[in-house]
Amino acid sequence: MDELAQLNNFRSEVPVQEDLRAEAERLMAGMSAPVRSDFRRLGLRAASAGGLAAALGVAVFVVQSQPAPAPPPPLIRTVAAVEVLSRAAEHAGSRPELHPRPGQFLVYQSQSMYTAQSEGQIWLTRHKRTIWLPAEGSAVKGVLQEETLAPLPYPGHTLPPNARAEQALVGKPGRPDRAADFDDRAEFLRTDYAYVSKLPTDTEGMRRHLYTQLPFDGLQNYEAWNRVGGLLDESYLPAAQRAALFRAAATIPGVVTVKESQDAAGRKGIAAAMVSPLGVREEYIFDRKTYDYLGRRGVVVDAKLANAPVGSVVSSSALLKVSVADSAPIVE
Amino acid sequence: MSETSPADSAVIARSRQEPEVFAEIFRRHAPEIKRFVIRRLGLDVAEDVVAETFLAAFRQRGRYDLARHNALPWLYGIATNLIGRHKRTEARQLNLLARTGVDPVTEPFTSRSDERLSAQAVRQRLAAALAALPAGHRDVLLLVTWGGLSYTEAAEALGIRVGTVRSRVNRARAKIHEELGGTDPTAVVIGEVRHG
């Protein structure tokens, strides 16, 4: 027996451990620790809605294939399909720029609606919110102030009892609170100004950024599209990066133009969109004249997958104002 | 792995949107990780280290490289880093075994009658050799032996180069070989029986 075999034998009487209840409990407790995941609230949040999770599961697990190192080749698109993104890229530098310095905060005022669910009940929860995010670094030092708006029924459903708790909060603006208990986003998913102002300014570089670490599992294009949204909502890119973002977004296979759209504040615009694996067309809406980013909207295109009638709106947001502040409100 | 069982990478990708799915990673790998941690640190500390390993993994799942289908090397890497915080416990127990022949780590799993006296000397010398290794060498050596990782996987787990893994294993191996007397102890035992 050589020394490696001897070593393998050493303490080999320790059996594989089957009783892991204590560890499992601690993991569960840690996993359910309150995390205000403001960052993915609009993304695949609806995936956890009853029945939809299973649908997504099928999509994820059946299409599973070998990951590849590079993103798929950009499609040659008709101009019309991506016109809105090209225009948005052209207009990216037409506004006065914000130049937040380290130590300052970017302040985003917005309104949003997204799917909420608890105990098998589903509804649309709505908020007005102001978030102060550090120009540099994680969101943990950010401050969030929210005001609950009247909840709405999930399309095709009635307003469930659990939504009433929200109704009671309407008209009572919340106190400033910590924006996040921890920010465990991967480095490449950071959206603070210091980070995004170092992103590539060329289309190909930005495209590679959007596909960072995405496996070719059939969902990669939608995930890349989702990441575009992550850089639009409550994130502020310098004009050069913003233009590159729109140009890179235009190369993602499956992007279409939606001529008539409307954000959560009722502002009308034109949108670029992609249909999600959950049967929802996820639109990023732009002002028809200035091509400023207005917000987003999720419209059902597959009633079965989305568990709601075709054409109904299951999520929306409106980015109302972005500004720079020297400090954030004190959290009590 | 059957066709219906998704790769770890797919489970982790999904857990980024549905955190509770991460429990599947625990279910798949915690028994093996815990055995590994016990072998290094003993039962008492293992519960903490294993719980912390999976919590850390859960929090880092956004950074997981989805190109790696099997999450085990990643988990071994996290566990090894956490084990590093208990270096003294590890060394104390190895030294105790080396000196006295009593192993506090295996004691809860062994009955007296199980102990094969012929192997006792080897265990003591192995313990001494392991205790004497630089921590980084011990980490690598135990990942490729007890953990069963390939050199590439061990390199990924610890964030070091494959060449470094190879040289550490070789040096650690040479030291253990030396500590065991440069001979095959089993052969010695058999020889004694034959001639004895």
Question: How many Cα atoms sit within 13 Å of B85 on the Cβ side?
Answer: 11
Mean pLDDT of A250-275: 92
Cα A121 to Cα A320: distance, rounded to the nearest angstrom: 30
Percent of chain A with pLDDT over 90: 46
Query: Which residues are bridge partners to B9 per DSSP?
Result: none
Can you say whether the dihedral through the CA atoms of A242, A244, A247, A248 is positive or negative? negative
Residue B3's φ and ψ, nearest 5 degrees, are -65, -30
Give residue-wise pLDDT tens across range A25-80.
888 777 765 433 333 332 332 233 333 333 332 222 222 233 334 454 444 444 45
Cβ separation B67–A215 shorter than 8 A: yes
Mutation pick from B17, B41, B137, B146 vs chain A, by most beta carbons of A within 10 Å, is B17
Rg of chain A taking only CA atoms, in angstroms: 22
- For chain A positions 58-97, those within 8 Å of chain B (CB to CB) are 60-61, 64, 67, 69
Q: How far, in Å, CA of A66 to CA of A187, rounded?
A: 24
Residue A66 is given by DSSP the state -
A31 → closest Cβ in B22, B34, B173: B22
The domain B8-195 having CATH identifier 1.10.10.10: the answer here is yes
**DSSP summary character for residue A11:** T
Name the average pLDDT for chain B. Answer: 85
d(CA A113, CA A46): 12
The arrangement of strands across the sheet holding A293-300 comes to A177-178, A143-153, A121-134, A105-118, A313-325, A293-300, A280-286, A268-275, A256-262
Q: How confident is the model at residue A1 (pLDDT cuts 50, 70, 90)?
A: low
Q: What tokens appear for A104 in the block?
A: 């300052």
Q: Which two tokens stand for residue B149?
A: 């990782």
Segments of chain A assigned E as strands: 105-118, 121-134, 143-153, 177-178, 256-262, 268-275, 280-286, 293-300, 313-325
pLDDT of residue A215 exceeding 90, the answer is: no
Scan residues 148-207 of A and list those with Cβ closer than 8 Å to B.
182, 184-187, 189
Q: What is the ipTM of this complex?
A: 0.85
B34–A17: do the CB atoms touch at under 8 Å? yes
A4 lies within 8 A of chain B by CB? yes
pLDDT at B191: 33
B122 interface with A at CB cutoff 8 Å: yes
Say which residue, B139 or A167, is predicted with more confidence: B139
